[in-house]
């Protein structure tokens, strides 16, 4: 692989437009266009990180300008959740569709299995990244997973930082998938982008557990309805009740203010 500082192709990468959702710029994408967009980024030699952003990420950003800036500096912030899609369509982007973390992994794996692109998995509980690698390589023959790393449930020590950086340097992955929680994974990708020799970092949260078979996903009709949060709350009430009961009403109230013009929202550039 060419050094990461050397563009593979002089072609300029043109990111898609963004929709301002309470100051967070959500990229105008769907599952088809996200693959071609990431392929174009790799072809041009572009580096960056991708946030998969829904109500939780947007609301966390309301009280944290640094987190909002992390989302807005991203290579892409995909519309994870139907409220992001609805906001995009209200803004006139009729083709905008949900780009959910587990689905994003699936379409990129399917595309990359025949392209020679490489992947590294960072995150999850012990054993999850390895289960994910095994399952995805069975499902997508030819998928190249060049490394896994399970971090501790605390900040990395200097020695662990150095070990991770060395593993990634040796692997030189095209995609480094980050399976942490929001906003931990967004902060990690922003802080580590210049230290880790991977081309594109992608934060996909619980997608590791879903694809490793540790946690069941909501049926498709529930995902499309906008009520996946209720399904997940029913499945994991002790972990998620505080997030959803705090974030969802706040999001609805603030979005109403944005749509009626009664609330001034920050610029998302």
Sign of the CA dihedral running 216, 30, 230, 181: positive
pLDDT-derived band at 37 (thresholds 50, 70, 90) equals: very high
> What DSSP character marks residue 236?
S
Neighbours of 2 (CB within 10 A): 9
Peptide bond into 82 cis (omega under 30): no
Mean pLDDT, range 195-212, rounded to an integer: 89
What are the tens digits of pLDDT across the range 206-260?
888 877 766 656 566 555 666 565 556 555 666 654 666 788 889 999 999 999 9
> What DSSP character marks residue 250?
H
Structure tokens belonging to residue 228 = 């996946």
For domain 18-220, give the CATH number.
3.40.50
Average pLDDT taken over every residue of the chain: 88
Structure tokens belonging to residue 195 = 């230290």
Query: Of 144, 74, 147, 148, which is closest to residue 108 (Cα–Cα)?
Result: 144
What are the tens digits of pLDDT across the range 63-108?
999 999 999 999 999 999 899 999 999 999 999 999 999 999 999 9
Q: Which residue has tokens 């991770």?
A: 164
Which residues does 52 contact at the CB level (< 8 Å), separation at least 6?
Answer: 77, 78, 80, 99, 100, 101, 104, 202, 203, 204, 205
Q: What is the pTM of this model?
A: 0.87
8 A C-beta contact, residue 121 and residue 147: yes
Phi (first) and psi of residue 262, to 5 degrees: -85, -15
């Amino acid at each position: 692989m060419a050094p990461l500082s050397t563009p593979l192709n002089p072609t300029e990468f043109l990111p898609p437009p963004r929709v301002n959702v309470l100051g967070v710029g959500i990229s105008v994408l769907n599952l088809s266009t996200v693959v071609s967009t990431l392929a174009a980024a790799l072809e041009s030699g572009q580096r960056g990180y991708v946030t998969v952003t829904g109500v939780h990420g947007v609301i966390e950003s309301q009280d944290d300008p640094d987190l909002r800036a992390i989302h807005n500096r991203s290579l892409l912030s995909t519309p994870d959740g139907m409220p992001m899609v609805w906001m995009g369509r209200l803004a006139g982007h009729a083709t905008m569709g949900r780009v959910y973390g587990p689905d994003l992994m699936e379409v990129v794996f399917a595309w990359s299995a025949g392209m020679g692109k490489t992947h590294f998995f960072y995150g999850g509980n012990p054993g999850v990244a390895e289960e994910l690698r095994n399952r995805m390589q069975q499902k997508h023959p030819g998928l190249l997973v060049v490394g896994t790393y399970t971090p501790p449930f605390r900040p990395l020590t200097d020695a662990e930082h150095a070990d991770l950086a060395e593993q990634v340097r040796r692997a030189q992955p095209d995609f480094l998938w980050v399976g942490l929680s929001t906003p931990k994974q967004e902060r990690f990708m922003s802080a580590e982008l210049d230290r880790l020799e991977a081309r594109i970092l992608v934060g996909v949260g619980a997608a590791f557990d879903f694809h490793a078979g540790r946690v069941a996903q909501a049926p498709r009709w529930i995902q499309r309805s906008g009520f996946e949060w209720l399904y997940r709350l029913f499945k994991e009430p002790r972990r998620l009740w505080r997030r959803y009961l705090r974030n969802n009403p706040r999001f609805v109230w603030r979005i109403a203010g944005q749509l009626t013009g009664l609330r001034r929202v920050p610029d998302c550039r």
